[in-house]
Amino acid sequence: MAKKIRILSLDGGGIRGIITCVILKYIEEQLQKLDHPNAKIGDYFDLIAGSSTGGLLASIILFPDNTKKAKFSVQEALDLYAKKGDDIFNVKFWEHLVNPFGLFNEKISEKNIEKQLAEIFGDLELKDFIKPCLITSYDIRERRAKLFASHEAKAPLENFYVKDVCRATSAAPTYFEPARIKSFYNQEFTLIDGGVYANNPALCAYAEARKIAFSKVLNNDKKVDYPSVNDMIIVSIGTGTVLKPYLFKDFENAGKIKWISPLIDILLSSNAETVDYNLQKMFETLGPRNRQNYHRLMPSLKNASPEMDDTSKKNIYELIQAGLAFVEQNQDELNTIAKKIIRNH
């Protein structure tokens, strides 16, 4: 019997990726209870997509051990976020003085994130991921999307260092400078955060899955090649709902500078919502049984800050609490997801 293609999609959101880790940790714990005590979530999905912080998480999850299985558990990913988040997002006091609010230069020095990415990923290459991935970025020189796909990285033209892929997908405008990276074919790219067009990369993941011969790529003859929506299970995880209202009176005569921050907020949330709407409608065409194979998990931020770079101990605590609250309120759905992905392992 053919096995469905299991797709995991992870939204962008900076340090709010901690919420994603908490949700994934619970799912991984269910895999360990129901299937194998050492189960790691990277071994249970056939394609993992990520934008920005989601791209970093996807890269950690797909990091290979010596046997080409997942090296890191979700707990280890969560520990990395909690430990290194402050190093990545730290803005020195003098930088605040010469660059208040990121108006004159990027808000955060790229040196911190590049140092941390080098420590985590070393010289790991995209082609060495344990499963297919789709990590988003945008080429501002060529003005087109740049999608990193590990299953296409056997050729030097599409192969990159993972640390460079992560630098590119997380180069959020106003936070970090654009990433200048080279492929193994020596082609140079100037890239920014893929969240500018796909903060929720689930629809990109669907489109990518349609062109993959999974039985060959995964060496599993029970997997469907070039799957349709009917052959997929999609689990899409957001980093917290941000619904800050903007009033007419506040923007009646607003200029460009006043619109910058609200516009980024609106663009990030609205493109995520549009992707969710499209996928819901696609799965609704399948009938009552298979329509339930699309899961959009979007937690409330509760008391956590919506800011993507708030790495205070209090906010990290609140992000973890927001994730735990979502898990507590959605145990049935999360347990169902775990059973589905085991059944299609």
Mean pLDDT (whole number) for 122-130? 97
Residues 6+ apart with CB under 8 A from 132: 46, 47, 48, 149, 150, 151, 208, 212, 214, 217
Kindly state the percentage of the chain with pLDDT values over 90. 65
7, 279 Cβ separation under 8 angstroms: no
- pLDDT over 80 at 294, yes or no: yes
Buried b (16+ CB within 10 A) or exposed e, 307-345: ebbbbeeebbebbbebbbbbbeebeeebeebbebbbebb
pLDDT of 252-275, one tens digit each?
777 777 777 777 777 778 888 999
Residue 81: the pLDDT is 67
Segment 174-216, tens digit of pLDDT: 677 899 999 999 999 999 999 889 999 999 999 999 999 999 9
Q: What is the mean pLDDT of residues 271-299?
A: 91
Q: Is the pLDDT of residue 163 over 50?
A: yes
Question: Is the pLDDT at 218 greater than 50, yes or no?
Answer: yes
**Contact (CB, 8 A) for 324 and 22:** yes
Condensed to tens digits (0 to 9), the pLDDT of residues 208-217 reads 999 999 999 9
Higher pLDDT, 151 or 89: 151
Q: What is the pLDDT of residue 84?
A: 55
pLDDT over 50 (residue 328): yes
Enter the pTM of the model: 0.91
| Least-confidence region, from 190-194, 284-288, 292-296 | 284-288
Tell me the CATH number at 232: 3.40.1090.10
- Range in 41-50, 110-119, 281-290 with the lowest mean pLDDT: 110-119
Query: Is the confidence at residue 105, as pLDDT, over 50?
Result: no
Mean pLDDT, residues 308-325? 88
Distance CA 319, CA 16 (A): 7
**How many domains is the chain partitioned into structurally?**
1
Q: Which pLDDT belongs to residue 103?
A: 41
Catalytic residues: 52, 193
At 83 the pLDDT is 63
- The string of pLDDT tens digits covering residues 219-251 is 999 999 999 999 999 999 999 987 778 888 777
10 Å CB burial of residue 299 (0-12, 13-18, 19+) is buried
Predicted pLDDT of residue 91: 42
Range of the domain at 259: 5-344
Q: How confident is the model at residue 78 (pLDDT cuts 50, 70, 90)?
A: confident
Tell me what the pLDDT averaged over the chain comes to: 88
The predicted-structure confidence for 11-44, as pLDDT tens digits, reads as follows 998 889 999 999 999 999 999 999 999 999 999 9
